[in-house]
Structure 1
Amino acid sequence: MSERDTGAAAVKAAATPEPGRWSARGNASGLSWWTRGRGRVLAASAVPTAVLPAFHRLVPNTPGHVGSLLESFLPWSGLVITVLLGLALLRRSAVALVALLLPVAAWTYLFGGLLLPGAKPGAHDLVVVQHNVSDQNTDPAGTARTLAEAEPDLIGLEELVSPALPVYEGVLAPRYPYHAVVGTVGLWSKHPLTDVQKLDIKPAGITEPWSRGLRAVVRTQHREIAVFIAHLPSVRVHASGLASSWRDESADLLGKAVAAEKLQTVILLGDFNSTVDDRGLHPLTSQMNVPARGFAFSFPAVFPLARIDQIMARSAPVGHIRTLPSTGSDHLPVIALVTLR
């Protein structure tokens, strides 16, 4: 073979893609080469990234309430997808990019609607605020002013302690002439309150004094509604998993109280120490509407990872939910519109 033939063969071989590899001619700098053979590990990682969020109810809750732990941080699966997408681009892997369509579709189906803008306020909307003010809050007056400046119709508060209660009452009184406090939870309203009752949501295993629930009737200009305020027990994350038995028991008691409510419209506010995706709140989410728009991660305030402060309603849709500016609490306040039909 001549020298010229040898050179031509070498050029032809360089221009021919290797078996099992896609190629695309780019510009003179050699860009735009996409490979089919690379990224098989990334493509395989896309499958559980899609399956776990889409079928999270199939993850067993024992041992260690693993299912609940996964469900508490489901929206953050989108961050995993973003990382995998970046790696696929770095690897220039067409296979991985195609495989990532599966988790992207799953995440969009579950949470994409929360990213859409909320509807404009209507004539029959109630603006509702929920906030765990923290029993260690050193600025209750500033906290109360922040909540009042949002001009809600209803304010639900948890972790009210005796030294701070007069401060909240004093600051909120000019705009909210009606309020009720039971134990460490309270409700402030622009509308008259009647039939205030204590809610018994105390788990059997708690022996010390413990009062974290109230129910009241709010007389709006449209009709009477029942408003429930509740603070469910805290959960702890250990090496063995999630310790949430008391919270789950309290959620079940609260769910039974809501189910027994005779008034058609119910608004439920509270720190539930759980997200709406967590199966531990199924006694509530199975019979209540949850916010249709917005993530509103509320805890911890310094770097919010989850929305454990909830606004729900029965026989009334809950619109866009968002957070308010930080207060002296370790939670962020959340605010939402509830439409009375």
Structure 2
Amino acid sequence: MLKRVVIVVSCLVAVVLAGHQLIPALGGVTPVVESLLPWIGWSVPLLLAGAVAARSKAATVAALVPGVVWAAMFGSTLIMSPPGGPSDLKVGTVNVGVRNSASGEAVHAIADNLDLLAAEELTPGGPAAKQLNKMFKYHYPVSTVGLWSRYPISDTQPLDVGLGWPRALRAVITTPKGKVTVYVMHLASARPGMTASRDASLAHARKLVDADPSKRLLLLGDLNTATTDRGMNGLTPPLTDAQRAAGDGFGFTWPSSFPITRPDHILYRGMTATRAGVAPATGSDHRAAVASLRL
């Protein structure tokens, strides 16, 4: 009996890993499953233990199959080291937490060595905005999102990504090595029953990126879409994920106490990521995503 259970479960795990994008979107359940894909690897040691207990070679081989699939999908993430080298622009994004009374402390620690910081779930005139205004000469807030920069900001534009109100922005940053177009977005949530609105806001984001002729482009923000969520296929490509290109590990950002997924992203084109990672954000349920880029 144990042998059959191990073989059947091993096959199911391998199928979910390899064929997750073929699973129909079921009321928001599928994005949750895809967000947790990297964690499914923990089932392999349990399956192997079951195979050993069953004293079955067939079960052992079956248990190794999802391990091989997982390694093919995520192994490079664990062994990759950042390319490093010189960088011209250090950027970050953080969901500061709308009820976070310590948001000023959070952004102070994150932004200290950055050239650009995008923030989401801002309270207009709240502690995060006040602190960032002291640290950066240039800023452009729109509703609950904002961009702070050490370099001049121009061509600013509030954006609605299908939510009925502006929760995104576009701006152009003039760096010593040229202009960079920056989008800051806080997309709709992907909670069960709300996947359709998240997918619609992702489609809006893709249209904006496709229509933008800028040579160098950054998209920063809380996209409410995990790196392994099929929804990211609409943005990567055409954009590159800084964490995947230059990160050390998965770079999970949520929840901050024990991160299991990454809804916060730094995506780009026309540049090269040299480093990427995460940083703590005091009082927020998110950690910040940070990256260094070469123009």
Q: Same fold (TM over 0.5)?
A: yes
Distance 1:236 1:119 in 2: 32
Given the alignment, which residue of 249, 254, 269 partners 2:200? 249
1:295 aligns with 2:221: no
Q: Is 1:155 matched with 2:155? A: no
Q: Which amino acid aligns with 2:277?
A: R
Match of 1:282 among 210, 225, 233: 233
Distance of 1:65 and 1:234 partners within structure 2 = 10
8 Å contact kept, 2:34–2:228: yes
Q: 2:38 aligns with which of 72, 75, 99?
A: 75
More relative contact order in 1 or in 2 (CA 8 Å, sep 6+)?
2
Whole-angstrom CA distance in 1 between matches of 2:2 and 2:260: 34
In the alignment, the residues of structure 2 paired with residue 169 and residue 273 of structure 1 have an alpha-carbon distance, to the nearest angstrom, of: 22
- Which residue in the other structure is 1:267 paired with? 218
Gaps of 5+ in 1: 1-36
- Stretch of structure 1 that moved more, 250-259 or 309-318: 309-318
Which shows bigger deviation, 256-265 or 272-281? Answer: 272-281
Matched, 1:334 2:289: yes
Are the counterparts in 2 of residues 59 and 66 from structure 1 also a CA contact under 8 Å?
no
Kindly indicate whether residue 9 of structure 2 is the aligned counterpart of residue 58 of structure 1. Answer: no
CA shift, 1:190, in A, is: 1.9
1:7 alignment partner in structure 2: none
Deviation at 1:313, TM superposition (A): 0.9
Separation in structure 2 between the aligned mates of residue 83 and residue 190 of structure 1, nearest angstrom: 50
After TM superposition, the structure 1 = structure 2 runs for residues 72-111 of structure 1, keeping only pairs within 5 Å, are 72-111=35-74
Note closer, same or farther for the CA distance 1:266–1:73 as it changes in structure 2 (3 Å cut): same
Q: What's the offset of the Cα at 1:317?
A: 4.2
- Which of 150, 153, 157 is 1:190 aligned to? 150
Change in Cα spacing, 1:38 to 1:255, as seen in structure 2 (3 Å) is closer
Higher Cα radius of gyration:
1
Alignment of structure 1 residues 96-135 onto 2, 5 Å: 96-135=59-98
Deviations 1:6-48 (A, max 9, x none): xxxxxxxxxxxxxxxxxxxxxxxxxxxxxxx973431332112
Instruction: Quickly say closer, same or farther: Cα 1:119–1:103, change in 2 above 3 A.
Output: same
CA contact (8 A) 2:2 2:50 kept: no
Identity %: 36
> In 1, are the aligned partners of 2:92 and 2:111 still within 8 Å (CA)?
no
Q: Distance in 1 between matches of 2:203 and 2:215?
A: 20
User: TM-score, with normalisation over the residues of structure 1?
Assistant: 0.78
* Alignment of 1:46 onto 2:10: yes
Q: Which structure: greater helix fraction? A: 2
Aligned residue pair count:
291
Residue number in structure 1 paired with 2:162: 202
1:325 paired residue among 280, 284, 288: 280
Amino acid at match of 1:79: W
Q: Whole-Å Cα distance in 2 between the matches of residues 158 and 169 of structure 1?
A: 10
Alpha carbons 1:276, 1:285 under 8 Å: kept: no
Determine if contact 1:38/1:95 at 8 Å carries over to the other structure: no
| Alignment RMSD (CA, Å) | 2.2
Q: Report the TM-score, using the length of structure 2 for normalisation.
A: 0.90
Aligned to 1:227: 182
Counterpart-to-counterpart distance in 1, 2:110 and 2:208: 28
8 Å Cα contact 2:91-2:292 kept in structure 1: yes
CA distance in 1 between partners of 2:223 and 2:81 (Å): 24
Letter in 2 for 1:247: R
Change (3 A) 1:78 1:286: same
